[in-house]
Chain A
Amino acid sequence: MEQRRPPEYILEVFADPACVKDVVKAILHTIFFHRYFTSISPLTRDLLDLTLPAIDDVDLETLIDQRTIALVRAIESTHQQRGRGQLVVQFFEKRRRKTYFFGKADEEVCWEQWTLDVTLATPRTETDVLKVRRAMEKSLQKAAMKIVNIVNRDKDHIPPITTTDQNPFPYHVIVNPKAAADTWGPRMGIF
């Protein structure tokens, strides 16, 4: 477990500027919906004719909103890579570091990583608008289905849950980890 490289799942979504925020949020919520192990009252949100699950958690909601906004800004501001952006969601487990001492030092060990590649499409014609919308719906549904299939397929790597009080697994959401390596240096260190 310890040395094992955490599984990394890559999702790709396609969105137009108007919906990119909602799409990214929906994907993040869907991921967290399957990784937020505390008892929840599930929510659903409709987007592009799809109904996607969501978690009623203020902190998580805030985090997702912040990261999504940051990602969209990054995509819009930096024109590098044709309107592409990347979000990385990492789940950690707290492990009591086994030191030579009896220190309580806990460390967070990543046990799973989701990489969300976002491609921004800017339709210029009426027909393109429809095409992009269809492609967007398809990519969103495809990504959601992929999440569902992945979480059911791979369960053994989920660490034991040791607490019921709160979310057992810390998480991080990183925007453009490679490009923002400097900014996110501390967290990058986790890798």
Chain B
Amino acid sequence: MHPHPRPSPRTAAAANNLQTNPTRTNNQRDPNSDRSSPYSDTASYTDRGPDDGDGDMVTRAEQMSETEQRNYQKVNQVIQNFFTKAALTIVSSRVMLPQSFTKNGDLRQNKWFNVVLDDTDVMQNDLMEWKLMDAVQGQHPSLCIEIFLDIKGLGHKQSLVIHDDQGKRWDISEALNVPVESSSRPPSRMGRSTELVLERWKIQVGDKNSVHPSELRDPLPNVYKKAVVLFRSLYAYLRFIPAFKYYKSIAKQPANHPSLKLKYRISNGDFKSPRPDTLSIPLYPSSESVTESQVFTPSNSPIGPLCISVDYRSNCEFSVDDSESLLSSHFMGLDDTYLEQSNREPIQVPGSLPVNKLNPQGTPELGQAYGSMSTFHQVGPPTGTSPLSALRAVRDMPSSSPVDSPPQKLPPNHRVAQGSKSSLRSADTPSYQRRTSVSFQPFKAGSLSSSPAPGPVVPPSPGSSLGRPSSSLGRNPSALTQPRNRTSLTALPQTALRAPSLPNETAFASSASSSPKPAPITRYSSSFGHRRSRFSSGGGSKTEDDNLSSGKGSVASSQQPGSDVLNEGEGASSGSIKTDDENISDFLKLLEQKKDLKSFNRSDNASRDATMRKTTAQLSKYQRLRDSHVALSDSVSSSMLLHRSSSSSSRQLSSVPQMIAGTSVSTSSSPGKPISPHTPHTPAIPSRLSANSIIEYEPRRSRRNRPSSTSRGHTSANVEEGSESEDQGTTAIDIPTSPRPWNYNRRSSSVAQQNRAMEDESDLYNLRSASLPVEEIDRQRDLQRIAAADLTSSGLFAQTELVTSPSEDHQAADSVSPPDSRDDIQRTLSTSDIPSRRGTYAGSSRGRGGLSSHHGSSTSLATGGTSSTERQSRYNFASRHTPLDDDEPLLFQMSEIGAGSRRSLEEGRGGSSTGSGGRRNSPWLR
């Protein structure tokens, strides 16, 4: 300061008055280290008469001819020191400044404005402009001080992170790079900045005309006095705001602790910095504003108001962490949050009326049993024993049951999903969002376990969702049958109870299936292959497999004539197909809604495809599916009748045309509607169909169960138990329930999560080896559960019949929890051993489906017959799919969906007409 001040005074003096020795004051100050200046001011105070508080200046002017010059000089000094002192006050509170010493070796201090601070030489050059300025002449550039963190100062493998309100850490480097694009002013930001501005202080002289003239005439002592207050408050305020806390935290840390010190930059505020403005860049998503500001009330001066203001980040909870630990923790944290969310969502979902109602039917129980994990949860409630209690339990169960069952039921879910999609869509956007979130979490988790990539986390959700569908597909054999059964069951109950409820389940299933498809694909594909092979063997229509969905439908139609069992299985498959279609539509919607998801799906699919066999084919299938979906949706939306027909077709496609058809129809109708709308309204339509389908499904399931008793064992003891007259109904119910829950979970995302967490852990882990599949499985499970919940309505029937059985099932499910684990293991094994186990599963699922179908058959024989054909078609599809393999499942799903949609359409129109007719008939019958 001294050196600079000297020149400034001299220049000023020269310019202003040679007579007065401005230098005197300056010189004095210099030697005294600025004390003189304050003192001189104080002197002015003393000069004032004790009586006269105000007239100091006047008296001075009168007293001394040099007063004006002196005053001029003093004003300049005060303004100059206002700037420099403010800079010193600010910077010294953020950065450790080296001390400076006088010639005598004494510590040099800045005592201006009665705040004594250790002075420093390091800012001399930066502040030269303000130390030399002639403020009185209007030369008073604004002073800008930025306090920032420069991540270039980080060591190797170190990351600067900020902690948000929840304690989550966010990498600053990511925020600094992203913002350039995200920020509202991309152009201004040049490339990447490594500096993160925490505070921007501005010291300036305001517009002279903006203040009352009397303030300009304020005597200098008053100016100084008021400035003292301003600087005191500045000193205090500097320590109130977040950046000081960071400074303090660094100071407290041991020297060897990694830390990033604050830096400062002094610049002329009149010039705009070419640097990107990183002050207001959001570092993490938050509803709170990134920055806050404080404007100190301007202090008077003869040349205008002296202003100090600051914009500062409201969160400066920075720390330096190890990059690797950050990554892992980040993932973990994400996973946790996801899980939490998923859990929450699932819970909520179960809470949803449809799910609860559906679940109670007892189908949920089966679902629970299937998904060992889910079974535990679901099973408990179902055990409620009495139908009412069972229903209530189901309500409770749905969430849980879906979770557990979802994996197995996933396929059904897909099928259901279509129908459910409509419902889902209605309620769906939220559910989708949730799902996405959920999916993300799973992915993250999966990514963590399997693949660490953080980025994937978000994508994973889509992928996971995709994988799940695929997984569901793979599982389909067992799961499909189960899910199918479940769906059918759910559909029946739902339709009986409420069409909307069914849609929800279906929607869940669809969503679940959609999400699951990618990861599950392999598993599913394998399962499909098994199923297909089996189906093909049973149904034998491998050609149809090509058009998995449509093929199924066709198969179903063709098969329907074939074997009842096959038909039943097909019926279930058709149901699944429909769901697939719906799922596809959902996927498409999701894709449209969320490009990310699409990308994810695509990425997942692509990777899988590449790994698998037919990426392009899948894509084409998807596109086809889309078209078919659109067509389906349009047709569905176009008319209930159409839906019925389509549904019937889809039903036909699905093993259980009649019963399932009813459900599937409802689903399809709902899906169709939902697809176009993407959401909810469809349910009403589905209700009709669902009711019909439900009946059908039950019979079919029963049939299926019979054939695939072994499968029953796999899927769940519940089914077997239910295999009996009551058991069948229950099994059917359970199956749907499990899918339904999954659906719910997935859609709700959170809801499924709990179940997922449970199931996922066991099943998922197995799947998790595949990472994505697990998630998918969970989703599927959720869907299944949801479906089961939906099924509840149909399940109600079964429940009433099965009431006791449900309780048994529940118990079994309870006991099942271990079984579930077994199931999970099996699943895992299936994933590893996909074909054989899947085959078993498929069989089990078939058996389940048979059980459900049986119920339906009991209700309506005709439906059962159609269902059998449908099942064949499905099986065929599975077989067809098998060639595609696990990876292809997505394709299958897509293809199936598209095909199914197409098939359903076609079938409804032509070949499938028989099935559709059967389905239609079943509805009609009902």
Contacts and interface: CB of A to CB of B under 8 A. Distances in A.
Contacts of A151: 229, 232-233
Contacts of B48: 160, 162
B257 to A, nearest CB: 19
Nearest to B218: A156
A152 B233 contact: yes
A52 B236 contact: yes
18 contacts: A34-B229, A34-B233, A34-B236, A39-B38, A39-B114, A40-B115, A42-B235, A51-B239, A51-B240, A96-B50, A144-B240, A151-B232, A152-B229, A155-B299, A160-B222, A161-B225, A162-B48, A164-B43
Interface in B727-786: none
Contacts of A153: 297
A162 B244 contact: no
Given A39-B116, A51-B239, A53-B236, A160 B226 contact: no
A149 B299 CA distance: 13
A18 B849 CA distance: 69
B240 A155 contact: no
A148 B248 contact: no
A44 B297 CA distance: 23
B116 A42 contact: yes
Chain B interface category by residue count: 35 or more
Interface string B650-675: 00000000000000000000000000
Given A96-B50, A152-B297, A163-B46, A158 B229 contact: yes
A112 to B, nearest CB: 12
Interface string A70-113: 00000000000000000000000000100000000000000000
B45 interface: yes
Interface in B212-245: 221-222, 225-226, 228-230, 232-233, 235-237, 239-240, 244-245
B229 A164 contact: no
A4 B271 CA distance: 46
A164 B46 contact: yes
A160 B116 contact: no
Contacts of B43: 164
B45 A33 contact: no
Contact of B115 (A30, A39, A49, A152): A39
A180 interface: no
Contacts of B230: 152
B136 to A, nearest CB: 22
B115 A158 contact: no
Given A148-B236, A155-B299, A164-B45, A37 B228 contact: yes
Interface string A124-151: 0000000000000000010011011101
Contacts of A50: 240
A42 B115 contact: yes
Nearest to B226: A155
Interface in A19-38: 30, 33-34, 37-38
A148 B233 contact: yes
* Residue picked from A147, A148, A149, A152, most chain B C-beta under 10 Å: A152
Given A40-B116, A51-B240, A161-B221, 15 more contacts: A30-B236, A33-B236, A37-B225, A39-B111, A49-B245, A50-B240, A53-B239, A148-B236, A152-B229, A153-B297, A155-B225, A160-B48, A160-B53, A161-B42, A162-B53
A142 B94 CA distance: 22
Contacts of A145: 237, 240
A185 interface: no
A116 to B, nearest CB: 17
Contacts of B45: 160-164
Contacts of A37: 114, 225, 228
A30 B51 CA distance: 30
A155 B51 CA distance: 20
* Residue picked from B46, B221, B233, most chain A C-beta under 10 Å: B233
Nearest to A144: B240
A141 B245 CA distance: 14
B236 A144 contact: yes
B911 to A, nearest CB: 68
Contact of B232 (A51, A53, A161, A162): A53
A155 B42 CA distance: 18
Nearest to B233: A148
Contacts of A160: 45, 48, 53-54, 56, 221-222, 225
A159 interface: yes
Interface in B12-65: 38-39, 42-43, 45-46, 48, 50-51, 53-54, 56
Contacts of A41: 116-117
A7 to B, nearest CB: 14
A163 B48 CA distance: 9
A158 to B, nearest CB: 6
Nearest to B54: A160
Nearest to A30: B236
Contact of B51 (A38, A39, A96): A96
Interface in B222-280: 222, 225-226, 228-230, 232-233, 235-237, 239-240, 244-245, 248
Nearest to A29: B236
A155 B229 contact: yes
Interface string B437-448: 000000000000
Contacts of B240: 50-51, 141, 144-145, 148
Interface in A40-78: 40-42, 44, 46, 49-53
A141 B222 CA distance: 29
Nearest to A49: B245
B232 A34 contact: yes
A164 B42 contact: yes
* Residue picked from A46, A50, A51, A153, most chain B C-beta under 10 Å: A51
